[in-house]
Amino acid sequence: VEFAGIFHGYGAHVDLCIRKDKFLRGFDSDVVAHLDDQMTKQGVNIRRETQVKAVRPIEGKEGWFHADLTTGETVETDLIMAAIGRAPKLDGLGLDKVGVELCPRGFIKVDRYQQTNVESIYALGDCTDTLQLTPVALAEGHCFADTQYGGMERFADLEDVATAVFSHPNIGTVGLTEDQAVAKYGKVKVFKSEFRPLKHTMTSSTERSIMKILVDSKTDRVVGMHMCGAHAGEMMQGFAAAIKMKITKKDLDSVVGIHPTSAEEFVTMRSVAYETGSD
- Taking alpha carbons only, the member of 39, 47, 44, 43 closest to residue 17 is 47
Residues 2 and 170: beta-carbon distance below 8 Å: no
Q: At 123, is the secondary structure helix, strand, or coil?
A: coil
H helix and E strand count, the chain: 7, 11
CA distance 94 to 7: 41
1-4 contact pairs (CB < 8 A, 24+): 1/35, 1/39, 1/165, 1/167, 2/165, 2/166, 2/167, 3/81, 3/83, 4/39, 4/44, 4/167
- Residue 259 falls in the annotated catalytic set: yes
Active site residues: 259
